Amino acid sequence: MPFGETGKPIGGMFLPATFFNVLLITASVFGFAYLLHKVGFDLKVFPKTRNDWLDVLVFFVFSISGITMWYIPAFFLAFLVSGVLLAAGQLS
């Protein structure tokens, strides 16, 4: 993923790179857990209920919009909405 120089001092490279790394780590954990689940080990990483799967989906939307909002500002709305949904999901 190219991180070009922009007029944004912090957001030009550090924040998109952070969201990208968080997304890669999360996808790797789910990928390895899926492979181990297919082999026969159950790590209990995968959500069981529909609401838990929705939280995982919202987290991935949050991470992806965190990367893309620095290049396409319209994704800031998706970033805010998914952040509010993640916070509200923890309160209920």
Residue 62: pLDDT above 90?
Answer: yes
pLDDT at 18: 87
In terms of DSSP H, where are the helices of the chain? 14-39, 50-68, 75-91
* pLDDT tier, 4 (very low <50, low <70, confident <90, very high otherwise): low
Over residues 37-60, mean pLDDT: 89
Give the integer Cα–Cα distance in Å for 34 and 38. 6
Segment 17-29, tens digit of pLDDT? 888 999 999 999 9
At residue 42, the pLDDT reads 85
Average pLDDT score over the chain? 85
pLDDT reading at 9 higher than 80 = no
The pLDDT of residue 6 is 61
Higher pLDDT, residue 3 or 51: 51
> What CA–CA distance (Å, rounded) separates 59 from 42?
22
